[in-house]
Chains A and B, each alone.
Chain A
Amino acid sequence: DARVTQTPRHKVTEMGQEVTMRCQPILGHNTVFWYRQTMMQGLELLAYFRNRAPLDDSGMPKDRFSAEMPDATLATLKIQPSEPRDSAVYFCASGQGEGYGYTFGSGTRLTVV
């Protein structure tokens, strides 16, 4: 089965360090989401791309977070500088657009100490 690949699976870093999370969407999928999951907030949408163009990143703290798709096979989410409150599981999902459903990766579990 085709899958969305996220790396790394786990990341522990010190406050103030830069963190980069990567996502390889399923080949042929033109839509990519980044979500963050915490116990308190549940699943929050951070950013959304269609055909590599950012359509909505209103859920992302702009001063420290950035999301890009340098090419169709790679999406990145960067945090600089990282803070303890960024500790969460970050999920990437890809799909073919409205009505098709989306495939989620296994997530990156980030711990900022």
Chain B
Amino acid sequence: AQSVTQLDSHVSVSEGTPVLLRCNYSSSYSPSLFWYVQHPNKGLQLLLKYTSAATLVKGINGFEAEFKKSETSFHLTKPSAHMSDAAEYFCVVSDFSQGAQKLVFGQGTRLTINP
């Protein structure tokens, strides 16, 4: 079965500085990977997805993620943080075990932006 580990439960950065949210996955085959964002008391919004095309994936709001098979990583980055980026971020792997597809979520990383 697939699994996802988000290495940091909480990341705090200053506005205007780079953001790095780390994600490692385990997979028995070439996975589909996603990053979702959840603002307080809101639903989950898809930021970006990797589906075996380009390894550097660009998403909304200036976020990017790079798929590194050798490191089984899919870290999320943004060059310059904005106050509106404060939210919970989930790394997600698509699991096709037993002939059915599931989305397996990491535990989430809470991103705080300091003025």
Contact = CB atoms under 8 A, between A and B. Distances in A.
A31 B101 CA distance: 10
B19 to A, nearest CB: 21
Nearest to B48: A101
Contacts of B49: 99-101
Interface string B7-32: 00000000000000000000000001
A88 interface: no
Interface in B53-106: 90, 94, 96, 98-105
Interface string A31-49: 1010100000011010010
Contact of A42 (B45, B99, B105): B105
Interface in A88-112: 91, 93, 97-107
Q: Which of A33, A43, A104 has the most CB of B within 10 A?
A: A43
A101 B93 CA distance: 10
A104 B44 contact: yes
A99 B103 contact: no
A6 to B, nearest CB: 8
Contacts, number: 53
A97 B51 CA distance: 12
A35 B36 CA distance: 14
A48 B34 CA distance: 18
Given A56-B100, A56-B102, A98-B51, 16 more contacts: A35-B105, A42-B107, A42-B108, A45-B103, A48-B100, A48-B101, A48-B102, A50-B101, A55-B99, A91-B43, A98-B32, A98-B101, A99-B32, A102-B46, A104-B43, A106-B43
Interface of B: 32, 34, 36, 42-46, 49, 51-52, 90, 94, 96, 98-105, 107-108
11 contacts: A45-B104, A56-B100, A91-B44, A97-B101, A98-B32, A98-B96, A100-B49, A101-B49, A104-B43, A105-B43, A107-B43
Closest 10 CB pairs of A and B: A99-B51, A104-B44, A43-B105, A106-B43, A55-B100, A56-B100, A104-B43, A101-B49, A101-B46, A99-B32
